[in-house]
């Protein structure tokens, strides 16, 4: 579990670093601009690290499924070689998703004024300011981002339904430990996937609320992930309790 958490933490740092520094600097200046090259790089990086995070969360769900439903075979199934392969597949999946996205963005013609209603460069705001018919392009983006996000969420949902169904045969102590292990992961999935599905699984258009929902999966979720996973660690909770009692 901690092997996958280390990769998730690294992806979170990279993912939020694509947006947060520029977002903070824009808050401090009156005229908010971004170069074309930086914009295209942001499109690529956001989709690359975003999809990699989605796939790592899926791999972590599989890890929990094996740990709870097949505990006696866990060491054999989740050996080091398979863990390395799953992480490598997540990074490769992120690349396979992001290259078509940035290719679509690069091929868009812009005539000006090139002003997007967002705090970072994303494909839907760019489609809105492109000076060409973007219906087919929007459908391709929906198939690439929206459908992939929905399918991944459905897979995660089914995996946890199976896990909860399996827990019926466990003791009360076993159910408590399993739910404690899964609770943090489910929380992260809800915070990340809810806004992401709203943002990408819809016709290619933009809404004023997009910026608010984007905050959840670009800044808030990566920021809270360490806190969520830390609070489920027994040793960490004991240490925090000791520090809190001493300070009070």
What pLDDT is recorded for position 237? 66
Tens-digit pLDDT profile for residues 73-110: 888 988 999 999 999 999 999 999 999 989 988 988 88
Q: What is the pTM of this model?
A: 0.86
Q: Output the average pLDDT for the chain.
A: 84
Mean per-residue pLDDT, 13-37: 88
Mean per-residue pLDDT, 1-20: 88
Question: Domain ranges in the chain?
Answer: 2-247
Secondary structure E strands in 82-185:
none
Q: What angle do CA 87, 150, 6 make, to 5 degrees?
A: 25
Mean per-residue pLDDT, 29-50: 90
The architecture (CATH level 2) of 2-247 comes to: Up-down Bundle (1.20)
Name the percent of the chain lying above pLDDT 70. Answer: 94
**Bridge-partner residues for 130, per DSSP?**
110
Round to whole Å and give the CA distance between 14 and 111.
32
């Amino acid at each position: 579990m901690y092997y996958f958490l280390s990769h998730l933490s690294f992806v979170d740092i990279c993912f939020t670093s694509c947006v947060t520094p520029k977002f903070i600097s824009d808050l401090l200046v009156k005229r908010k601009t971004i170069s074309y090259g930086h914009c295209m790089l942001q499109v690529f990086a956001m989709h690359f690290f975003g999809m990699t995070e989605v796939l790592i969360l899926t791999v972590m769900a599989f890890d929990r499924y094996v740990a709870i439903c097949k505990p006696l075979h866990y060491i054999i199934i989740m050996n080091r070689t398979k863990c390395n392969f799953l992480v490598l597949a997540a990074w490769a999946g992120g690349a396979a998703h992001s290259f078509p996205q940035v290719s679509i963005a690069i091929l868009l013609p812009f005539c000006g004024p090139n002003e997007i209603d967002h705090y970072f460069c994303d494909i839907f705001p760019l489609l809105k300011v492109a000076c060409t018919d973007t219906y087919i392009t929007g459908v391709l983006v929906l198939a690439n981002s929206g459908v992939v996000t929905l399918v991944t969420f459905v897979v995660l949902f089914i995996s946890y339904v199976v896990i909860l169904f399996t827990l019926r045969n466990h003791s009360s102590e076993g159910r408590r430990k399993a739910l404690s292990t899964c609770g943090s992961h489910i929380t992260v999935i809800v915070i990340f996937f809810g806004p992401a599905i709203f943002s990408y699984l819809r016709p290619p258009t933009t809404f004023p609320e997009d910026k608010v929902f984007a905050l959840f999966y670009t800044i808030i979720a990566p920021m809270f992930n360490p806190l969520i996973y830390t609070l489920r660690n027994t040793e960490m909770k004991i240490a925090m309790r000791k520090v809190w009692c001493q300070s009070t």
